[in-house]
Every structure is written in C-alpha cells, then in structure tokens.
Chains A and B, each alone.
Chain A
Amino acid sequence: MEFELVVGMEIHAQLRTKTKLFCGCLNRFGDAPNANTCEVCLGHPGVLPVLNTAVVEKIIKAGLALNCSIDPLSQFARKNYFYPDLPKGYQISQFELPICSGGFLEVTDADKKLKKIRLRRIHIEEDAGKLMHEGIKDGSLVDFNRAGTPLMEIVTEPDFRSVEEVYDFLTQLRQIFRYLDVCDGNMEEGSLRCEPNISIRPKNSPELGVKVELKNINSFKAARKGIEFEFARQSKILNEGEKISQETRGWDENKNESFLMRTKEEAHDYRYFPDPDLPPLRVDDEWIEKVRRTMEELPRNKKERICREFKISDNDCDVICSEKAVAEFYEQTAKACGDGKQAANWVMGDVLRVLKTGGAINTFPITPSRLSGLIKLVADGKLSSSMGRQVFETMLTSSEDASTIMLSRGLGIVSDSTAIMKTIDEVISEFPEQVQQFLSGKDKIMAFLIGQAMRKMKGKADPTVMNRLMKERIETLRGKT
C-alpha cells in the first residue's frame, strides 16, 4: 500500500536574553558549572519566581513574525515531574492559556507551490539543568547554569507531508529567529531543538494515523533522516498487517535508527496546574505595538526590498539574505558603491568564499565602505577584475583602502597605447605561426594573441585598448603577405 507521511512539529528555542526567565542570573553558556545560579534557579526553599519581561517581548516578536495572535491574558502552569536536573521538581511552563495561538508559516511543497503550515501555539517555559556523567565515578553531577533559562515552545498542526516541507520550515524558522535576535538557532548546540510527531496513513485517507514522537534530533540532517526512517519503519509495520503503537522514540545518530524510549502507558502524568506564584500574564495592545514598532525587518521583507532597491536577481537575493548580517553587509556595500549587481557578485563570490574558511561577517576585515571603494575602481575601469581580486586579497590583511594598494603595488590598468603597442609587436614577432593562422581565417587565434600580450603586461593593460590595437596591428600585416 502507498502511504502518506503526516508530521507535526514541537520546537524548543532557547531565547537570547541577558538574564534567566525568573531570576537575575546570566543566561549564558560556557561558564564554569553552576557559576550562573542563585537561590531562585536552584529551587531553594521559600524562593519565588519573577517574570523577565524581556522574554515576553522576544516571544511577542516571534509570534508577530509567525502571524500568531498574541493573547491578552495567558497563564503560567507547573509541569510536575522528578528529575535531578529539575531543581523545583516542576517546570514552570504554560499549559491551558499560552501566550500565542494560531499563526502559520509558508513553506514550499513538493510541487514547488507555497503551502501554509499552521501553528497551534507558542508558549514560554523554563529550561532544566544538565547532568554530567563523563569521568565521574559513582554517580553524576548537575550543572544548573541552564536551569531557569528561557525557552519558547512552538507547536505546529500536523500539516507537513514531506521531509522537504519540514526542512524548509526549520530553515525559515531559524532564519526568522536569527533576524529577530530571538534565538541563535544552532541545532548542534541545542539552542534549537525539534521533536517531530510522525504518523503515516494510506494515501487519500482523511484520518490521522497513530503518532510517534521522535526525540534527540540534533541537526537538520537528523530531522530529515529520522523522519524518513520512521516513515519506512511504520510503512513496514502496516504492510505486515501490524499496528503502530503510540510511543516516544529516540533517534540514534550513529546507528541511523530510532529506538523505543517509552510507550503511551509509561507516559508521565505531569499534573499541570496554574502556578500560584505567578499572576496571569497580561499583554495589552500598547505593549504589542511597542514591540512591533521596534521589531527588526523580517527575512521575507528584507529580501523583497533588497531585490527591488538594488535590482538583483531572486536567486542572488536568497543567498545574500540567508543571514541577516550578510544582508546588512551587502546593503551597505551596494549603497556605497552604487552598483547592486557588482556588490552582489563581490559579496556572494569573494566575501562568502573567505567566510567559509572561518570568521563572522561582523568582524570581516574588509568593511563595506572599503569593499565599495574596490568595486568602484573595477567598475570605472581603473582596475581589471583579476587585479581587483589581488587587491581584495591584500585588503584582507591590510587596513589600507583599495586605491592606495593599487597605486603602491602598481596594479592599475595601463591604457597608454605606446606601451601596449610595444608589447603587441613583441608578441607578433614571437608567434609568427599563429599570426599566419589568423590571417588565413582562424579568427579564434586572436584571443590567444591577446592573452599572450596581456600576460606580458601582467593583466594590467586596458582590455578595450588592447583589443583595438591588436586588431589594427594584425590587419596591417595582411596587406604585406
């Protein structure tokens, strides 16, 4: 039987805020274990949570970007379970009344058409600490630096029908979060975690199948592989006439397979109830408008605007806008040099090539204004494009601007006809055979001769002048033979 894949996603995003969700400790990773903790995030007796409103603003931003409705009244709830990394024995989350509901994000489906993936909700919750097992005899240690840091959980409807849709969704979501400075979106480091709920059903069947939740997905690639694996596993079970059981499975990245974590019967009863320590969260229109006014430009809007303003192709724009900082770098360069197309070529070509070997665009050694100076020299014909590349390489390690480097290294274009003519004469005397071939009708040989002359002049000759003079010179030979 042919089956259709049905996926819904639960996505956890670590929010980029200065401090934790309910206390003043730093929301920062990489410090010594338990350096960023206090009595509140360690769950000492008698402490109380105080909501960090910066978190609320980040979530409002994300909600607006994802077309959600921001609910005027939401509620914090306790999710109760025991685990050593959970200091209070409950996680403060949102249950019945989340801060955002509804919403959607458009993805490209298998037929290259735009399709809406509907969101069910977005809610705020706190993260837990981390257990450390490695190198410890007789037990484990807990690092509570992450305990109490803010998370946003996004739950979609089961609207995905292919891994491509999932991939596109995750890519866009990460891009949006990075643009809004909501989350750095790094799946490998766990700042973006996704749990697909996967089920299958016979093609064209209206009913949903039994779902399996997949955990431990640490990369986009793992998401893709995990879903594909589950699709195959579930298809096999149904084809063999067996039933799928509702369960939570983990993804083993080394073995490339999923394994059973717990069955439905073993599922926790979290005993959610409203947290009596936190009054309902009220978000009025004024607050939403304040956030909207200060909100960063969304990727889609930025792309449309850059396309329009700088007249570059859709594809180029996609590359440039994949990262907000790159797009900003491009914009500044394009504005300064006044040539969107050339700026795009340089940014997509040379700048991104260098960045691939390491480093961030924010600290790129050539600033947009220096790069635009270089682009202008090439555009004005003062520097050939190959010489331009050499100047670019020099600029990576020098703080001088392009024209200074050009002059000091004698890299400028030579359009003086005497010097060019002298070189042409040399070439003609060195390659008499080729000259004869040209004269006997082999037009293509011209490019070879010009190439030789250019090489002699180390590429510095003005190509237009060179072309013109070479042709004129050879034509004078035609009469003589």
Chain B
Amino acid sequence: MKNLCHLTAYEIREGYKNRAFSVTDIAKAVVAQVEKLSPKIKAFLYFDADEILNRARDLESQAQRFEHNPMFGIPIAVKDNISIRGIPTTCGSRILEGYKPVYDASVISSLKNQGALIIGKTNMDEFAMGSSTENSAFGPTLNPWDLERVPGGSSGGSAAAVASRMVPTALGSDTGGSIRQPAAFTGILGLKCTYGLVSRYGLIAYASSLDQIGPMGRSVEDLAMCLEAISFREKRDSTSLDDPLGTKYLDNFKTNVKGLKIGVPKEFFNEGINPDMRESVYQVLKDLEALGAIVEEFSLRYISCSLPSYYIIAPAEASSNLARYDAIRYGLRVPGENIIQQYENTRGAGFGAEVKRRILLGTFVLSAGYYDAYYLKAMKVRRLIKNELTEAFRKYDFLVTPTTPTTAFKIGEKTQNPLEMYLSDICTIGVNLAGIPAISIPCGKIDDLPAGVQFMGPQFSERRLLSLSKAYLDATGHHQIIPSLLKEN
C-alpha cells in the first residue's frame, strides 16, 4: 500500500468510504511523518501527538455523525495566527507567549463540526509580516526541497508541512501573498479567496482589509474540499460575504479550457522577474493555448504601484491592530516603573524587528499632517488598481502571472535588506488590494526548485480558478512533484 502520508485529502476520503483504513491509521501516519521530519523542517510551533490520536479515536466512534462531511477525518494543519480554543496561539511572536485563546475561530468551529482532524499550529513570520518565516520569533521553517532555503512566508510552516507530506492540507492566511508565495516555493497549491468569502473571526489581524484565510494542499480537489468547509457568510465578521454562486466547490469542475480568454499583464514579466521564471510561465501559457485557451498580452497602468501602496495600507492597519498587545490582559508582560514603561518594555521585548518596523511605518503614515500624503493617497491608488483589474476581467476570464519573481531563496539571503524581501511579494500583492481571488499552482521546477504560476480571477471566481487549475494540472501533472528529501526515505 502507498504510504498514507502521500495521499491527498480527496484520496483519504475515498479510502474512508472504501474502509481501506481508519482515521487512527491516518492519524498515526501523520504523527510518524511529523516526528520524522519535524526536526529537519521545523514546520510546527505546536504539535501534540496524543491529542491527535485521541481526537482520531473520538472521530471514529462518532463516524456516523460525520458521514456526509467531506472533511471528516482529514488531517489539516493550522497556521498559528488562527485561534483554537485552549491551544497556544503565538502568531510567531514572543508577545503572545503563554496566550491560549478562549474561543475558536469561525473556520475552526466549522472544521471541528465537520469532523476534521486538526493537526497542530504551524510556524509563520511574526504576525504574518514576512516572506520567509525568518521573522518567526521561534526560528525559521526550512524548505523540504532544500534545507538551506526558506519555504516562503508568511504561511511557510503550513506550506512546508503540506510539501513534506506531514499533512495533506493546511490553512494559511494571505495578506499580500502569504499563502501563494510559500505554496510556489514548496511546490504545492494555495488559494487566496475573494475578500469576505472566509470569515476572519478568530484570525489574528495583521492588515484587516487585506487578510484572508485560505486552503493549501497538493490537489485541486483538496483545496475545493477545504474551501467548502471554511467558506460561509458569518454574522461575527461584518465584512464577510455570501458567494452568490452557492457554497459548493468540490466536483463539477468545468475543465474545458477551449475559448477561455487569458490576459497576460506585461508588467509581471519585466526585468524584476528571473528569466527562468519567465520562461516557466511562458510555458504555462503555451500549455493553456494547446488546451484551447486564447492568450493575449496587455498592460496594466497602475499595478506597479501595488507594492508601495501595500506598504502604506498594511502597516497603517497593523499599527492599530497590534496596539492591543499592551501587557494588561494576556500575553507577555515586562514590568516597568510606570504604565508607559511597561508598554515600552513589553512591546520592546515582545515584538521582532520587522513588526516594529511596520508599526513605526504605519504610525507615521497615519500621523496628522502625513495622512493625506500617504494613507489617503495609497487608498486612492488601491481603488485605481481595483478598478483596472475589474476592467481587465471584462475582457479576460483569467490573468496569468508568475507567483514569485524567483524560486525559494536561501536562508539569510534577504534578512538584511527588507526592501529586497518585500519584492518577493511583488506579483501577489495587487490581488489583495483588489480583494479578488488568485491561486498559485506548481508549474514545474527550476534547478530542482519548484516554480509557481498564479491565476487571478474576478470576485467569486473560485470555482473557475479551481477548474482551470485542474485542467492545467491534469494535463501536465506538475502537482505530483516530490522533494527528493522524501524520495530518499
């Protein structure tokens, strides 16, 4: 029998139906794989084998209750910025050391209700600020494709866990590319949903108007299954939306690509993009053309302003969102002579350099006298970017771009140069500003490192993005790539 760890969520579901194995069998396989690879990869911040095995037994005893839930018994890892009641949740930050949420995030309640097998909390850049997990206060996660390289970030722990077959699926969050970029770096699939499709209740906020939880996995079906379980309109999140096309994402994929219009924005193929990466994506376009799509190059006027406007809006929101870590009610407390000193001591010791940098940036751009020149202008640019993308989707069904300018970079390569690090999200940020969905899927390898292609669609086009991805991956098989680290075993 195939090593159970290599099964996709969809295959596990089929296996349960055929009684090929039990939830406990799967749980044991997960525990074994994590215990074997975790010392090398460091994907998890919290992992409790007993808890997982107990939960698996509980689920088995209640199997009938969950009969019709696709996520029943499916292992899913959770990024450490998503709250699970009673489980340490740090956001990769010292400031939340010792904090245990008193409530479940909406997505967690839903997964629990559907009988999913939640597997620990995955490492991330502190407060989701970063592109490599090197900003985690608890040390970086390593890329299973090359242990000297980063897995991307901020959802690097989730990506590495999925890529190294510790779990079939994981939840990540994406504010400027934090699902898609690590998915690309580790050779898996990651979906950033339409803003509002997945409730943010319980997602520890970085930049509220950009943050979205989304699924990561190794097959289109797995992403669809997971999305089905976590997307619903919810009262507790006032920005959550109903998908006008319903709540079903799994099955009924329309994989006929013939006649689909694909727009290729030139700005994503300029000199900032590694030539090999460009070639990889051009190959994707050729493959899609071969499947019958109509590919056309065009130009976006404002998209190049995505990165600068993002680095005003996101820090502005973050500076306010992170004000609550004040040592009064939970988390780290470093006492001082008076309340101001206690704030300074706690926040000085609790936050890492990148978080401090963004709090300072955000505080500055919101300050009296600077607000109009920075924050307000950035919001106007954001509107222009949103408008031009909406306009583009009148003409094209999808836009296709690289997910990242390069493949995974080396640990330490960009830590001394924040701007260089910021540029690794250059292809993904516009999507968050516009609130539209995008998916990153594997499109082959460059020097034995995975490359990712990004498909963008208009608001609520998740079904069509999944269908296009399925058509492409069925034709090319790129999602089946496996890191050599795993083959050795």
Contact = CB atoms under 8 A, between A and B. Distances in A.
B320 A46 contact: no
Contacts of B320: 78, 80, 89-90, 271, 273
Contacts of B319: 80, 271
A277 B326 contact: no
B116 interface: no
A142 to B, nearest CB: 7
A462 B205 CA distance: 83
Given A80-B366, A273-B375, A279 B236 contact: no
A267 B83 CA distance: 37
Contacts of A88: 323-324
Interface residues of A, number: 28
A48 B343 CA distance: 23
Interface stretch (A36-44, A327-335, A373-381, A427-435): A36-44
A252 B441 CA distance: 67
A84 B339 contact: yes
A237 interface: no
A272 B370 CA distance: 12
A49 interface: yes
Interface in B198-232: 200-205, 207-209
Contacts of A50: 235-236, 238
A49 B236 CA distance: 7
Contact of A45 (B91, B239, B363, B367): B91
A273 B366 CA distance: 7
Interface in B78-115: 81-83, 89, 91, 96, 99, 101-103, 105
Contact of A279 (B239, B323, B363, B375): B239
Contact of A277 (B89, B238, B339): B238
Given A44-B330, A45-B91, A277 B208 contact: yes
Interface in B103-139: 103, 105
B176 to A, nearest CB: 15
Interface string B310-337: 0000001101101111101110000000
Nearest to A51: B238
B217 to A, nearest CB: 23
A388 B19 CA distance: 91
Contacts, number: 100
B374 to A, nearest CB: 11
Interface residues of B, number: 45
A89 B96 contact: no
Q: Which of A45, A47, A89, A90 is most buried by chain B, counting CB atoms within 10 A of its CB?
A: A45
A80 B83 CA distance: 24
B371 interface: yes
A31 interface: no
Interface in A90-136: 90
B368 interface: yes
A419 interface: no
A50 B106 CA distance: 14
A269 interface: yes
B101 A45 contact: yes
SS of A interface (majority): loop
B144 to A, nearest CB: 29
B237 interface: yes
Nearest to A47: B201
Contacts of B339: 84
A46 B105 contact: yes
A279 B237 CA distance: 10
A259 interface: no
A364 interface: no
B84 to A, nearest CB: 11
A107 B223 CA distance: 66
Contacts of B363: 271
Interface in A184-200: none
Nearest to B340: A82
A276 B209 contact: yes
B178 to A, nearest CB: 16
A278 B240 CA distance: 10
A256 B270 CA distance: 72
B366 A271 contact: yes
Contact of B237 (A43, A48, A271): A48
A46 B329 contact: no
Contacts of A277: 205, 208, 238-239
Contacts of B207: 276
Contact of B238 (A43, A90, A142, A278): A278
Contacts of B236: 48, 50
Nearest to A278: B238
A78 B363 CA distance: 13
B101 A80 contact: no
B324 A269 contact: no
A87 interface: yes
A276 B316 CA distance: 11
Contacts of A272: 366
A47 to B, nearest CB: 7
A46 B366 contact: no
A48 B238 contact: yes
Contact of B204 (A46, A49, A90): A46
Contacts of A80: 319-320, 323, 366
11 contacts: A44-B329, A45-B83, A46-B201, A48-B201, A84-B339, A89-B324, A271-B363, A271-B366, A271-B368, A276-B209, A279-B239
> Which 9 A-B pairs have CB atoms at the shortest separation, nearest pair first?
A89-B323, A276-B209, A271-B366, A276-B208, A45-B204, A46-B202, A46-B204, A43-B324, A46-B83
Interface of B: 81-83, 89, 91, 96, 99, 101-103, 105, 200-205, 207-209, 235-239, 316-317, 319-320, 322-326, 328-330, 339, 343, 363, 366-368, 371, 375
Given A44-B102, A279-B238, 15 more contacts: A39-B101, A42-B329, A45-B99, A47-B202, A48-B201, A51-B238, A80-B320, A80-B366, A82-B343, A84-B339, A89-B320, A89-B322, A89-B323, A271-B367, A276-B209
